[in-house]
Structures are given as structure tokens and as C-alpha cells.
């Protein structure tokens, strides 16, 4: 029986961006179902007492170099965003509102590209609107969705449920109840998904 890969993420994480591209390939190779779950990384940090890895300067420098190596290895275009960290609340509310919607993957692709290929300040409303429009989406409708009570409530619920499961950062994947943190652990995710 095919496995489900739950992928908990925030588009503000460059490692989540790398994982997003790799996980689509992993799902295709293994026959697993990829189930993306939008969470608010800031909310996770607040609940767990965590902080972004780049808050330690030496670790941040190392991570940038490490992510560049991973991106080059996997053929993923990655541009470090000079506006980082970016407030992702509106973007993640949009994605929470689109859970189960056939537009989800395309909108996620557009938001990730705005952050990590085009290095835009996606917290700026005009920039976000323009990026969504350039991606072929109805920007006005998606920004209205971000203000919908259901979308707001779902993002909160997703984030709280993630913390309750032991999540402390993103990307985090679950396969058959096993938790895997970080884009550099996707070999384990693929092995678990391949067990079927």
C-alpha cells in the first residue's frame, strides 16, 4: 500500500524550498502521496522556544554554503533572499485556505519562487500581489482568502497540531508515524516511503 509523506512547511524557509522540489520527485519515484501541510514557523518557534538557525551567525554562514551545495547537486535554482527573514503570515494563510484545492501546488510553487528564485520581499503586499499575478493566479481572490476566518483558523490549527506532534522547525516530514526533520534527511523519507 502506498505511503503518505506529510510535509510540514513554511515558504519562508529555504530548506523547505529545497525539500518541496525534492519531495515531488521522491513521491513520483516511490508512488507515495505527498501531503503538504502549511504551518507558521514563527508560531512553532514561539511555542517551542526555538529560533531560526541563522540567528547564530557562524551557523547561518555555514547553512548558506551547505544549501548552495544541495541546490547545485539537485539542480535547484536557489537565490538567498536579502529580505530574509520575511513575515510569511499572509502567504501561509493563503496556502492553508487552499489545502485540498487543486490550485495548491501551483500557488506554492509561485510563492516559493518569489522567495527563493526571485529573492523578493514577499511580505510587501504589492510585491506579493504582483508575484501571484505573474504566476497566473487570481491575486485578489487569494489575498481575500488569506483574510477568511477558515483559512486563519486552519493555519493556527495546523501549527498547534504540529507542535503537539513534536515539530520544532521546517521542513518536517512524517511517514508511517516517523518524524524526519530537515531537507538533508530526505533519503530517510524516501526509504520510508519506498517500504510501501
DSSP letters along 87-118, please? --HHHHHHHHHTTT-TTHHHHHHHHHHHHHTS
Q: How far apart are CA 107 and CA 138, in angstroms?
A: 10
User: Is residue 174 pLDDT above 80, yes or no?
Assistant: yes
Q: How far apart are CA 154 and CA 177, in angstroms?
A: 22
Q: Mean pLDDT, to the nearest integer, of 115-140?
A: 98
* Nine cell digits for residue 124: 510587501
Average pLDDT value for the chain: 95
Cα 69 to chain center, whole Å?
19
pLDDT of residue 75: 95
pTM comes to: 0.95
SS3 for 86? Answer: coil
Q: How far apart are CA 77 and CA 165, in angstroms?
A: 32
Question: For residue 55, what pLDDT band results from cuts at 50, 70 and 90?
Answer: confident
pLDDT of residue 32: 97
pLDDT tens, position by position, 30-54:
999 999 999 999 999 999 998 877 7
pLDDT tens, position by position, 104-113:
999 999 999 9
For the stretch 64-70, contacts whose Cβ atoms lie closer than 8 Å and that sit 24 or more positions apart, written own/partner, are 66/184, 67/14, 67/15, 67/18, 70/18, 70/183, 70/184
pLDDT of residue 130: 98
pLDDT of residue 60: 84
pLDDT of residue 53: 75
User: Is residue 162 pLDDT above 90, yes or no?
Assistant: yes
pLDDT of residue 51: 81
pLDDT tens, position by position, 80-93:
999 999 999 999 99
SS3 for 13? Answer: coil
Q: Assess contact for 8 and 189: CB atoms under 8 A.
A: no
User: Is residue 96 pLDDT above 90, yes or no?
Assistant: yes
Tell me the percentage of the chain whose pLDDT exceeds 70: 99
Q: How far apart are CA 169 and CA 148, in angstroms?
A: 26
Q: Mean pLDDT, to the nearest integer, of 131-157?
A: 98
pLDDT of residue 59: 87
Amino acid at each position: 500500500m502506498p505511503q503518505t509523506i506529510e510535509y510540514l512547511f513554511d515558504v519562508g524557509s529555504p530548506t523547505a524550498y529545497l525539500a518541496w522540489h525534492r519531495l515531488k520527485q521522491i513521491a513520483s519515484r516511490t508512488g507515495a502521496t505527498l501531503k503538504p501541510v502549511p504551518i507558521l514557523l514563527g508560531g512553532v518557534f514561539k511555542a517551542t522556544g526555538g529560533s531560526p538557525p541563522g540567528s547564530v551567525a557562524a551557523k547561518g554562514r555555514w547553512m548558506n554554503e551547505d544549501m548552495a551545495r544541495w541546490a547545485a547537486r539537485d539542480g535547484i535554482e536557489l537565490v538567498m533572499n536579502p529580505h530574509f527573514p520575511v513575515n510569511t503570515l499572509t502567504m501561509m494563510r493563503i496556502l492553508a485556505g487552499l489545502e485540498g484545492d487543486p490550485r495548491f501546488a501551483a500557488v506554492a510553487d509561485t510563492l516559493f519562487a518569489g522567495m527563493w528564485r526571485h529573492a523578493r520581499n514577499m511580505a510587501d503586499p504589492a510585491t506579493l500581489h504582483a508575484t501571484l499575478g505573474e504566476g497566473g493566479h487570481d491575486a485578489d481572490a487569494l489575498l481575500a482568502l488569506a483574510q477568511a476566518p477558515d483559512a486563519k483558523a486552519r493555519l493556527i490549527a495546523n501549527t498547534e497540531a504540529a507542535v503537539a506532534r513534536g515539530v520544532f522547525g521546517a521542513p518536517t516530514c512524517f511517514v508511517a508515524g516517523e518524524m524526519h526533520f530537515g531537507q538533508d534527511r530526505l533519503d530517510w523519507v524516501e526509504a520510508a516511503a519506498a517500504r510501501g
